[in-house]
Amino acid sequence: GESVGLHLPTLSVQEGDNSIINCAYSNSASDYFIWYKQESGKGPQFIIDIRSNMDKRQGQRVTVLLNKTVKHLSLQIAATQPGDSAVYFCAEHEEWQFYFGTGTSLTVIP
Amino acid sequence: DSGVTQTPKHLITATGQRVTLRCSPRSGDLSVYWYQQSLDQGLQFLIQYYNGEERAKGNILERFSAQQFPDLHSELNLSSLELGDSALYFCASSPWGQMDTDTQYFGPGTRLTVL
């Protein structure tokens, strides 16, 4: 199977600071990437996606950066809020398959 | 609330048994996906259906099967259950079943415990 990993299993940030969550992927043929947020007791929730022909995509308070050279994906959350506390994981799409990272637990300190 | 419903919320059963998990997609969505989330393996894609037909298959065991009915709801059948099958099972739906363009909406999951 493919390897989609996360650099840090946990991340604590102060409310109002920016958060950066990283993800490494192994398959250079992957063409589409997604970041999901999963709150305790809930299903994953789509945050933002990016196609492999892009380097950066911005949403509301979130930015995804894709570095294909080093097969690295990052999620930046601006002005992190307590409601952002959750597990975040990336997913890569390749040939009718999705491969998911194990997740990073983000804790926002008030 | 994503609009995707899953039943039951919790299921406790014994090894060797068979269970059926049910999923109703969002109104208008034609495609359903099943995922397994365990503590040691994270989230894994199992299988996808589109308008009643299997479209993609992931890491689904032979003991597991699924189907999508004419009313578009889906069932995941797990048989000969083992302790290692204990996990959260999520269903997701999307409008057109295009993995690389559709947004998938996840249900709340069914927690399966095999004793």
Å between A46 CA and nearest CA of chain B: 7
CB–CB of A96 and B105 under 8 A?
A: no
Residues of B in contact with A96 (CB under 8 A): 48, 55-56, 99
pLDDT at A5: 44
Name the region of B41 (left: φ>0; alpha: ψ -120 to 50; beta: rest).
alpha
Tell me what the mean pLDDT of segment B14-36 comes to.
Answer: 97
* Chain B residue with the nearest C-alpha to that of A30: B100
Closest chain B CA to residue A35? B103
Detail the DSSP E strand segments found in A3-95. 4-5, 10-14, 19-25, 32-38, 45-51, 56-58, 62-67, 72-77, 86-93
When pLDDT is cut at 50, 70 and 90, the band that residue A2 belongs to is very low
Taking only the tens place, the pLDDT of each residue in A46-82 is 999 999 999 999 999 999 999 999 999 999 999 999 9
Smallest CA–CA distance from A5 into chain B, residue: B42
How many CA atoms within 13 Å lie on the side-chain side of A70?
A: 8
Q: Residue for token digits 């040939």?
A: A95
The answer, for B97 touching chain A at a CB cutoff of 8 Å, is no
- Distance from C-alpha of B78 to C-alpha of B17, rounded to nearest angstrom: 8
| Rounded Cα gap, residues B101 and B90, in angstroms | 20
How large is the average pLDDT for residues B41-49? 91
Closest CA to B92 of A46, A11, A31, A32: A46
- For residues B3 and B10, give the distance between their C-alpha atoms in angstroms, rounded to a whole number: 19
The arithmetic mean of pLDDT across residues B59-64, rounded, is: 94
Burial grade of B71 (CB within 10 A; 0-12, 13-18, 19 or more): exposed
Query: Any chain A CB within 8 A of the CB of B44?
Result: yes
Q: Does B56 touch chain A (CB under 8 A)?
A: yes
Cα A71 from Cα A49, distance rounded (Å): 15
> Phi-psi bin for A6: left (phi > 0), alpha (psi -120 to 50), beta?
beta
Say which of B42, B45, B101 has its CB closest to residue A97. B45
pLDDT of residue B59: 85
pLDDT at res. A53? 94
A105, A9 in Cβ contact below 8 A? yes
Contact A46 B100 (CB under 8 A): no
